[in-house]
Chain A
Amino acid sequence: MIGIATLSVAISIVATLVAALVAVPGAVWIVHGRSRLRGALLALFTAGLGLPPVAVGLAVAFTFWRSGPLGAIDLLYTPFAMALAQTIIVVPLVGTLAVVALRAADTTLPMQLTGLGITGRRRFALLMREVSPGLAAALLAGFGRAIAEVGAAQMTGGNIEGQTRVLTTATMLAVGRGAFDQAFSYVAILLGIMLVAAGVAMTLQRRWA
């Protein structure tokens, strides 16, 4: 039970962080960049909000089936495949929320920083600090979506005991077996994890604000 919960949390954290590494710079580029392709990326993020997880799960599973295009690397039914699917599901959510947070912030800040001669890494860090409460909310939402995922987790992980069984797929199996008490305890753990995650996000928001 502890192993299942740990794996759920670990996969979801990895998926959220990798998604943030892609989505947050993307969001900064959308809000403060100058390229014409910014609109396209924003459209991609926004449309991606409605991306059905089962579609992502099927696409990732298909890619990694032994008979699929990347079958040779034998990655299906591993936590990696699950994290990859969750990352794809979470990127649009984190990206869109980060765009909202950046837009709500002082829009003259980038110009002020440029005026003060602050560039590069330092400028990026200051920008991030300005929108950190919004970013914390975006990460929490991403984590919540990742850990709650069932369909994609089942298809890409296969619900293998001790390897890819996570809280959501374990709950489905427990219900399927008629072990409702077990199902309820999995769900209770899931809710507990989300409460802790929300607490962490709120603490971060308060400290950063």
Chain B
Amino acid sequence: MLQRLFLCGLLILGLTVSPVLAQQPSVILATTTSTQDTGLLDVLIPAFEKASGFEVKTIAIGTGAALAMGERGDADVLLVHAPSSEAAYMAKGRGLSRALVMHNSFIVVGPASDSAHVKGAATAQDAFASIARTQAPFISRGDDSGTNVKELALWKAAGVSPAGNWYIKTGSGMADTLHVASQKSAYTLTDDGTYLSQRATLALVPLVEDAKDLRNIYHVIVVKPLAGHVSDQPGGEAFAKFVTSEAGQGIIAGYGRERFGRPLFVPDAGKGP
């Protein structure tokens, strides 16, 4: 009797699996938290699904984690923003193609009191140097994301190896990190899209903007499938084609105008590597 019930449980488990087994594999897009937290994907993905008939599963993590997923063959297409890490990824032969999609800008934000006097610094590098000098609290993503990679490059350029009580790593997404910075009256580096989308709930002001070392560039990478693994290369390719197409670029150019009064991203497809 008991055994029969036990087997019955297993059988039900099996039956739940079977319909799922029959379905087509869907396209897995691994991307950064900034594209999800800004809400861009909420308009871009449905438009792609409608235009192509592919079904997309979006996994929003950091750029580092997204590239790792691509390397393991756990994703079909990547939308990421750490050009140096991406180049290393392509050099390993794990990408079929890589194309420029869009950019926005990083900005340095912090409390209005600005104890480190970074407001109006000509470059982010200068701003970082004075934050380190005054040991004003700085919040780092600390998660290998595109923003984190950019931040570490800026510290390096400023000749600082950040460590100590003033340097705090959250290990969280961009929006979460902004909220931590806001609560702790600390500085942080953010993409302007996420900042704009969160501004209403933050006690942070932009301090360094439009500096030449603060450009945030997004690329789309089609993952090279690994032999013997499930993959959806056509779906990945279709997505890459869509986001760089006129339709996809038009959505990117328009996104944010309604909610934030200005676009959050600048479409760049075809403007270079």
Contacts and interface: CB of A to CB of B under 8 A. Distances in A.
Main secondary structure of the interface of A (DSSP, over half): helix
A164 B10 CA distance: 23
Q: Taking each of A33, A123, A160, which has the highest tally of chain B beta carbons within 10 Å of its own beta carbon?
A: A160
Interface in A7-59: 14, 18, 21-22, 24-26, 28-29, 33
B197 interface: yes
A129 interface: no
Contact of B6 (A22, A71, A120): A22
A175 B58 CA distance: 19
Interface residues of B, number: 44
Given A175-B176, A178-B179, A65 B6 contact: no
Contact of B57 (A67, A87, A163): A163
A80 B16 contact: yes
Interface stretch (B126-134, B149-157, B225-233): B225-233
B84 to A, nearest CB: 25
Contacts of B60: 159
Contacts of B12: 18, 21
B123 interface: no
Contact of A121 (B1, B37, B72): B1
B91 interface: no
A74 B55 CA distance: 14
Interface stretch (B17-25, B107-115, B210-218, B243-251): B17-25
Contacts of B21: 73, 75
Contact of B173 (A28, A120, A163, A176): A176
A124 B5 CA distance: 11
Contacts, number: 100
A146 to B, nearest CB: 15
B17 A80 contact: yes
Interface stretch (B183-191, B198-206, B262-270): B198-206
B8 interface: yes
Contacts of B37: 176-177
What is the size category of the interface that chain A forms with chain B?
Answer: 35 or more
B74 A25 contact: no
Nearest to B24: A74
Interface string A107-126: 00000000000001101100
A184 interface: no
Contacts of A175: 176, 179
A28 B3 CA distance: 11
A153 to B, nearest CB: 14
Nearest to A19: B9
A178 B57 contact: no
B21 to A, nearest CB: 6
B190 to A, nearest CB: 12
Given A29-B2, A80-B20, A71 B57 contact: no
A71 B231 CA distance: 10
A166 B59 CA distance: 15
B28 interface: yes
26 contacts: A14-B16, A18-B12, A21-B5, A22-B6, A24-B5, A25-B6, A26-B6, A65-B74, A67-B72, A67-B73, A67-B229, A71-B74, A72-B229, A73-B17, A83-B16, A120-B1, A123-B1, A124-B1, A175-B176, A176-B37, A178-B175, A178-B178, A178-B198, A178-B200, A178-B201, A180-B201
Interface of A: 14, 18, 21-22, 24-26, 28-29, 33, 65-67, 71-75, 77-78, 80, 83-84, 87, 120-121, 123-124, 158-161, 163, 173, 175-178, 180
Given A24-B5, A178-B202, A180-B201, 9 more contacts: A26-B2, A26-B6, A33-B2, A66-B72, A67-B73, A73-B17, A176-B33, A178-B200, A178-B201
